[in-house]
């Protein structure tokens, strides 16, 4: 089993399609606010950080999507599948960000729904992981509101911008929880 790096996921509100270098000119204006990157591992308002963040997608290390808001037909941000372990039937959803104008619009829920559905119903995953900075209270609240289970904290887990070390908090959805969670979102 492997990831389809040409995968497109969509519903009536959002389209997730593989990122291309041509998307950079539309993504970068969304990324210019340095305050967006307080809880992110790269400061995408800096050209070199943007390139470093995108590099794993072009090396086949993660399936990075460009997120299109179908209601406005504008690029809204990005999200990805990564840390794929076929043996363990586990995958991570992450590297997610949305431009300010798209935050709080419901796009995040739509993205997660599409990605979880694909992970469980097509890839046959047993576990989907999501992680964030323990200080990122908006993301943590959103994940809990979605019904995604908070698991625990890994201390001094990840190097952040400006040399800060992040305590990372993990969340997950298990295959046995997926159908009920999906029904609650509909």
| pLDDT tens sequence across 38-66 | 999 999 999 999 999 999 999 999 999 99
Mean pLDDT across 6-21: 97
Q: Which residues contact 16 (CB under 8 A, 6 or more apart)?
A: 7, 8, 9, 10, 65, 66, 67, 68, 79, 111, 114, 115
DSSP H or E run through 25: helix 24-27
What is the CA angle 38-43-49, rounded to 5? 160
For residue 185, pLDDT beyond 90: no
Instruction: Answer yes or no: CATH 3.40.50.150 is held by domain 9-185.
Output: no
- Take residue 49 and report the two structure tokens written for it: 């950080």
pLDDT of residue 2: 83
| pLDDT tens sequence across 124-162 | 999 999 999 999 999 999 999 999 999 999 999 999 988
Whole-number Å distance between alpha carbons of 62 and 132: 17
| pLDDT tens sequence across 83-122 | 999 999 999 999 999 999 999 999 999 999 999 999 999 9
pLDDT of residue 161: 87
Domains in the chain: boundaries: 9-185
CB 43, CB 161: distance < 8 Å: yes
List, as one string, the DSSP characters of 119-170. Answer: HHHTS--SEEEEEEETT-HHHHHHHHHTTPEEEEEEEEEEE-GGGPEEEEEE
| pLDDT class of 32 with cuts at 50, 70, 90 | very high
Of 89, 86, 62, 56, the residue nearest 172 (C-alpha): 89
Mean pLDDT across 70-93: 97
């Amino acid at each position: 089993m492997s990831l389809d790096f040409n995968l497109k996921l969509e519903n009536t509100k959002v389209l997730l399609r593989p990122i291309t270098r041509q998307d950079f000119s539309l993504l970068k204006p969304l990324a210019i606010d340095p305050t967006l990157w307080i809880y992110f591992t790269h400061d995408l308002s800096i050209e070199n950080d943007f390139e470093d963040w995108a590099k794993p997608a072009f090396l086949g290390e993660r399936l990075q999507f460009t997120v299109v808001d179908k209601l406005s037909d504008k690029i809204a941000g990005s999200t990805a599948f990564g840390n794929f372990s076929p043996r363990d039937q586990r995958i991570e959803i992450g590297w997610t960000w949305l431009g300010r104008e798209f935050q709080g619009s419901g796009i995040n829920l739509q993205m997660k729904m599409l990605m979880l559905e694909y992970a469980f119903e097509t890839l046959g995953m047993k576990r989907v992981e999501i992680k964030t900075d323990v200080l990122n209270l908006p993301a943590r609240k959103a994940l809990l509101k979605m019904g995604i289970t908070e698991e625990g904290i890994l201390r001094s887990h990840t190097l952040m911008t400006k040399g800060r070390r992040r305590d990372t908090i993990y969340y997950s959805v298990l295959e046995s929880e997926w159908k009920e969670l999906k029904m609650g979102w509909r």
